[in-house]
Amino acid sequence: MGRYDVLVIGGGIVGLTAAIASAGQNARVLIVDAGINAGSNANAGSLHVQLQSRFIRLYPDQAPNVEASLPLYLQAVREWERLDALFGSFDLVRKGGLMLAEGEDQLRFLEMKARREEARGLSVEILDRRQLDALAPWLGPQIMGAELCRDEGKLNPLAANVRLRAEARRLGVEFLSDQVVSLHVDGAVVRAKGQGGQVHAAKQAVVAAAWGSGPLLKGWGPPVPSRAEPLHMNITEPGEVRINHLIQHAERSITLKQFGTGQIVIGGGWAAHDRGNASVPSVLAASMLGNVALAARLVPSISRLRVLRTWAGMNTTVDGKTVIGRLPAAPNIIVAVPGDAGYTLGPLVGRAAAEIAAGQPPSFEIANYGPSRFAA
Ligand SMILES: Cc1cc2nc3c(=O)[nH]c(=O)nc-3n(C[C@H](O)[C@H](O)[C@H](O)COP(=O)(O)OP(=O)(O)OC[C@H]3O[C@@H](n4cnc5c(N)ncnc54)[C@H](O)[C@@H]3O)c2cc1C
């Protein structure tokens, strides 16, 4: 029998919160993490709830999966608020998100989207320019209106990650740097073989390895089609403007928000240069220029700010929907890969993984999110 109750493979937001929830119930937990390309260390800190236009445009086939998951995003943001109250501050602000329209067509698109989101329980409203001026007077003159989703928010992922790691350590979670190359089940023990041949054993394993999950689970049932997606980010020096909302666009890829420091974080899905999963993606000049130029068009006053840092990070996509549940072929292995906007969903998915490991009913109905759906 392994020394650990739960072996968590992948130490991003999902693995970390799964470990905290398990250790909080007195489980002995080991996190084994490859230490490369965690989206959780590179992300923008947007708490997404409304359907992202970027996702609808890039992955139209997957958009119905995201739409069906909308109630999960609401629950996920509440989970973030719970963690912020317990272990924060994460600089979490939940004043809503604005998706901007620069033309009539975009406004019609947002109206249609809002109706679909309302049907899923989201609190959304279409604002005209006059109403928008009361909330966001700093927007460019060409903005005609916006969809306000009151459920959205933002946080500082660097602060959240540091505080959650500290909490995991306080609860006795152990961390080990290694890349798991294969999984073996031996009765009631899961053995995970590391790159250098070391074997990590536990009664149960949670695979929270994002882009690494598909390759690791090969041969354990229907393939989990996890894909790495290198993305670009920027952060400016502090600005005097006060932006409370998460800002997005009806047609173009962008997220824009302001941290408590006054700095503007600009991202939202611009590509970075893929150098393979074992290397950090590199920045593309065209993405940096395009991303900040769009930001400055939407909020002209920030065009005077200097960009302090740009970086690239690895996002993971599957089919738009979270993958969570025990492997039918090996019930002591639990898969936990969040759907689109995985940092938002991460703590809810991590908590559900811990609940499943403990034999408790998960915080949300997981029937539609299991790994066996890929058999179809
Ligand atoms: C630039 C960028 C901006 C983003 N912005 C947002 C945002 O604003 N809001 C939002 O909700 N989401 C955002 N995302 C998405 C979000 O960051 C990810 O979906 C989320 O962090 C995934 O968390 P995770 O715990 O599943 O995996 P990750 O944080 O990706 O961690 C997975 C870990 O598993 C490890 N691993 C992989 N394979 C193995 C293996 N075989 N053995 C051991 N370890 C392994 C990796 O090294 C990594 O450390 C963004 C992503 C990027 C890249």
- What is the model's pLDDT at position 79? 98
- What is the model's pLDDT at position 55? 80
To the nearest whole percent, how much of the chain has pLDDT over 90?
A: 95
Tens-place pLDDT, residues 288-299: 999 999 999 999
- What is the model's pLDDT at position 56? 84
- What is the model's pLDDT at position 59? 85
Domain with CATH 3.30.9.10 in the chain: 94-154+228-316
Arithmetic mean of pLDDT, 76-104: 97
CATH number of 94-154+228-316: 3.30.9.10
Residue with more model confidence, 259 or 3: 259
Which band of pLDDT confidence, cut at 50, 70 and 90, is reported for residue 362?
Answer: very high
For residue 229, give the ligand 1 atom closest to its CA. Answer: 53
Tens-place pLDDT, residues 41-61: 999 999 999 999 878 888 888
Question: In testing the pocket of ligand 1, which one of 7, 43, 164 has its CB within 8 Å of the most ligand atoms?
Answer: 43
What is the residue with the minimal CA distance to atom 35 of ligand 1?
A: 10
Instruction: Kindly tell me if the per-residue pLDDT of 324 is higher than 70.
Output: yes
Find the 208 Cα to ligand 1 centroid distance in Å.
Answer: 9
Dig out the tokens for 365 from the structure.
Answer: 């109905």
Instruction: Find tokens 């941290």 and name the residue.
Output: 259
Q: What is the mean pLDDT of the chain?
A: 96
For residue 10, give the ligand 1 atom closest to its CA. Answer: 34
Tens-place pLDDT, residues 132-164: 999 999 999 999 999 999 999 999 999 999 999
Find the 214 Cα to ligand 1 centroid distance in Å.
Answer: 14
Which band of pLDDT confidence, cut at 50, 70 and 90, is reported for residue 98?
Answer: very high
Find the 293 Cα to ligand 1 centroid distance in Å.
Answer: 27
What is the residue with the minimal CA distance to atom 26 of ligand 1?
A: 210
Find the 201 Cα to ligand 1 centroid distance in Å.
Answer: 24
Instruction: Kindly tell me if the per-residue pLDDT of 1 is higher than 50.
Output: no
Question: In testing the pocket of ligand 1, which one of 316, 321, 322, 337 has its CB within 8 Å of the most ligand atoms?
Answer: 316
CATH number of 4-41+159-226+319-375: 3.50.50.60
Find the 36 Cα to ligand 1 centroid distance in Å.
Answer: 10
Find the 359 Cα to ligand 1 centroid distance in Å.
Answer: 26
Domain with CATH 3.50.50.60 in the chain: 4-41+159-226+319-375
